[in-house]
Chain A
Amino acid sequence: MNPTAGQSRHSNRFWLAANAFGATLRRDLVVTRRELAQFLVQALIQPMFFLLIFCKILPSIGLTAGNFAALLLPGIVGLTELMAAIQGITLPLVLDLGFAREIDDRLLAPMPVWLVAVEKVLFASMRGMVAGAVIFPAAWLVLGSRYTVRGDRIGELICMIVLAAFAGAGIGLVIGTVVKPEQISLMFAVILTPLLFTGCTYYPWSALSTVRWFQVITLFNPLTYAAEGLRNAMVPALNGHTMPTLPLPWVLIGLIATLGLCLAFGVRTFRARVVS
């Protein structure tokens, strides 16, 4: 045994775990910084096409109203955030837990196993936030004069961007620990597609009052709360008339509950996958 090895060791478990957590997060950030361009392209391509077609092309040929952009943009921000956060955690986890096992190195770091899962969630939500934030300048470029975002609710907007990203990362943790590698394509069809279409991305929740059953269904989709919260923070008053959204307290409850439940369940399934 190296006689000095034991002496230089920290005995404070809290310090050890906090340090390992920080180093793990740094590792993820270093890797992401190297593929930043790839990450941004991946995050932006789809939303940019959505905005181009639905907010620029369709209004020009008279198929949607010109102010649709104001409604759609928050939905697109929410969707992009959720997807970026989910992708930031789900695919790596499915592959890692399935066969790559690259995560073993961090599981053997001196921190509790649940903290490894929490780090993944934090990192994925950071990806989600960045993806959500870069939509704004990109949308401004694509939409030009149709870009209308109210500027008096910046605090609320930041809060919504953060919460939506965390909720997405939580969902990603659950999916990533439940899905097996051979089920990846099934996952996209069965989980992500319904998430995409029932989340009030393309329509405001209040407008669904005429289709009550569908309005109820949308409440089971966390994306609904993200999109409605972002609408509340972003859509300006039109002709002195504010657009009704899902009440803010419900938005907060929806997003926080999603994160809480996903974390509680996801950390358990994560543990079960890595400690047998």
Chain B
Amino acid sequence: MSHEPAAIQVRDLVKRYEKANFNAVDGVTFSVRPGEIFGLLGPNGAGKTTTIGVLTTAVLPTAGTAAIMGFDVARDPIGIKQRIAVVPQQSNLDRSLRVKEILTFHAAYHGVPRHEREARADALLDELGLGDRKHERVNRYSGGMSQRLMIARALMHEPDVLFLDEPTNNLDPQSRLFLWDRIRALNAKGLTILLTTHDMNEADQLCARIAIMDKGRILVDDTAAELKKMIPGGNAVELRVSLPCPEDGARVLEALRALAGVSKVDELDAGAAPAPEDDPNVVTYRLYAEAAPALVGPATQAGLVAGAQVRDLHVKQPSLEDVFIYLTGRHLR
């Protein structure tokens, strides 16, 4: 194990806003390794934005510590601001400036020399697909373009850590995919990224590690794959068969239950099945097992033995939403 300092280190962080009677962030601890994409996943009001606020010097911690690249956020805000960049939820682009100037002035605030900031701005605008519209004002920009421009702006001073607060919220699917690509590409170049989202799919797509937050606390913090393993029976095979006649169902069920490694078999209600059918002879079974993929062959065999026709068979992937529901008993939104 190397002892490279963490890109982000948060210990026992507490934030209680004035006049509030609860902690917006309530004892949060996590660390992010350099070059990692780390996601804070949780519903609105979970404390994600406040946590980012502390890390970006906009919120003063009530207790606990937070450091970026070894610099303490409360003691050395200037050192922090030099090393981070923030892409907020809503556009805060400088509407008095033209597009390219937004980038060059941002770099100027950070002390990037003139010739460098000009070249960097041109390169980033091209990279983010805004090269041919750099002399416009931002009021003509769409939501997706503004988001891309904010990312370009964030990169102008070559930060070590990039904060993305709900980066693709309110974007159309195409802009969203484009942004995901850009985020992955930036990370591939070694940029550490912390993003917040209430979109489990986004967290799943982008993040190497995910902390699930709720009510100011981090409930779990792990890779998406490990998180999904938390759900009992999360590993399952779903088998849909067409029976010769409804009475054959009992025989199929029996055959499936007899398979080695199966802990439980449920016959799903017509409504709960993935694609409900009108045909009463079509039944869906869910087989829970530790090693579900190994059941694909045996389950098919068992179905055939009982005289049924296999319509569909797949290994069920638990989603992060399932994990969240499992942990909190509530849906994400």
Contact = CB atoms under 8 A, between A and B. Distances in A.
Interface in A1-42: 1-2, 5-6, 9-10, 13, 15-17, 19-20, 23-24, 26-27, 30-31
A108 interface: yes
Tell me if A's interface is mostly helix, strand, loop or mixed.
helix
A101 B17 contact: no
B192 A110 contact: no
Given A16-B78, A107-B58, A101 B88 contact: yes
Interface in A204-254: none
A276 interface: yes
A104 B85 CA distance: 11
A274 B77 CA distance: 14
Given A1-B35, A275-B60, A276-B59, A112 B109 contact: no
B106 interface: yes
Interface stretch (B91-99, B176-184, B313-321): B91-99
B109 A5 contact: no
Contacts of B81: 108-110
Interface residues of A, number: 34
Contact of B190 (A2, A19, A31): A2
Contacts of B160: 1, 5-6
B57 interface: yes
Contacts of B53: 276
B333 interface: no
A10 B35 CA distance: 23
B59 A105 contact: no
B59 to A, nearest CB: 5
Contacts of B18: 276
Given A17-B78, A276-B53, A109 B158 contact: no
Given A1-B191, A2-B158, A24 B59 contact: no
Interface in A62-113: 100-102, 104-113
A102 B88 CA distance: 11
Contacts of B105: 23, 26-27, 105
B92 A101 contact: yes
A31 B105 CA distance: 12
Given A13-B79, A16-B78, A1 B192 contact: yes
B57 A100 contact: no
A110 B110 contact: yes
A276 B17 CA distance: 7
B140 interface: no
A2 to B, nearest CB: 5
B97 A110 contact: no
B82 interface: yes
B34 interface: yes
Interface string B244-271: 0000000000000000000000000000
Given A13-B79, A110-B82, A111-B78, A20 B110 contact: yes
Given A1-B34, A1-B35, A110-B81, A20 B109 contact: yes
A104 B82 contact: no
Nearest to B150: A105
Nearest to B53: A276
Tell me if B's interface is mostly helix, strand, loop or mixed.
loop
A20 B57 CA distance: 17
B78 A112 contact: yes
B59 A102 contact: no
A111 B108 CA distance: 12
A105 B192 contact: no
B82 A9 contact: yes
B3 interface: no
Interface in B105-126: 105-106, 108-111
Interface string B49-86: 00001001111100000000000000001110110111
B77 A112 contact: yes
B111 A105 contact: no
A35 B10 CA distance: 46
B90 A23 contact: no
B183 to A, nearest CB: 16
Contacts of B110: 20, 109-110
Nearest to A21: B109
A276 B92 contact: no
A31 B88 contact: no
Nearest to A274: B58
Given A9-B82, A112-B77, A104 B59 contact: no
A6 B53 CA distance: 23
B48 interface: no
B52 to A, nearest CB: 12
Interface string B148-160: 0000010000111
20 contacts: A1-B35, A1-B160, A13-B78, A15-B111, A20-B111, A23-B105, A26-B105, A30-B97, A30-B101, A31-B96, A100-B92, A102-B96, A105-B92, A105-B106, A105-B109, A108-B84, A111-B78, A274-B58, A275-B58, A276-B60
Interface of A: 1-2, 5-6, 9-10, 13, 15-17, 19-20, 23-24, 26-27, 30-31, 100-102, 104-113, 274-276
> Nearest 4 A-B pairs (CB), nearest first?
A109-B109, A23-B108, A101-B92, A5-B158
Interface of B: 17-18, 34-35, 53, 56-60, 77-79, 81-82, 84-86, 88, 90, 92-97, 101, 105-106, 108-111, 153, 158-160, 189-192
Given A26-B105, A108-B86, 11 more contacts: A5-B158, A10-B111, A13-B78, A16-B82, A20-B109, A24-B109, A30-B97, A100-B95, A102-B92, A109-B109, A276-B17
